Amino acid sequence: MDTRKVLSSLCYFSIFFAGFLFPLVVYFATGDEVTKTHAKKSLISHLIPLIPTPLIVVAVWYDFASLPDQLPAFTFISIVVLILIWIVVLIWNIVKGVKVLTAE
């Protein structure tokens, strides 16, 4: 098995075990441009759901603090959208990791 393929696919699969740290380390540690490209793509895909997560958590916390008896529509829609973003990113990383690993 080619080391380039293994490192590149591990960058995508690191969403399960190392988050964005593994692609970041691989990006700076490797000299191979193909592996750097995959590390950068996986790093960006790992960071995409991390950007709206704190914003939505703060919004949900504020909504529950101000209206404890009901669930506002914005809160429910925000939670659903955040879950969908995480699922799409997870599936995309799995597909890309398998595709890189099985590529010729």
> What is the per-residue pLDDT across 46-79, written as a single tens digit (0 to 9) for each?
988 888 888 888 877 777 777 666 667 777 788 8
Q: How many domains does the chain have?
A: 1
Query: What is the sign of the dihedral through the CA atoms of 57, 63, 66 and 68?
Result: negative
The tokens for 46 are 């790992």
Task: Please choose, from the candidates 25, 46, 20, the residue with its C-alpha nearest in 3D space to the C-alpha of residue 36.
Answer: 25
pTM: 0.80
Written as one letter, the residue type at 49 is P
| Cβ atoms < 10 Å from Cβ of 95 | 11
Q: How many CB atoms lie within 10 A of CB 82?
A: 17
pLDDT tens figures, 2-60? 888 888 999 999 998 888 889 999 999 988 898 999 999 999 999 888 888 888 888 77
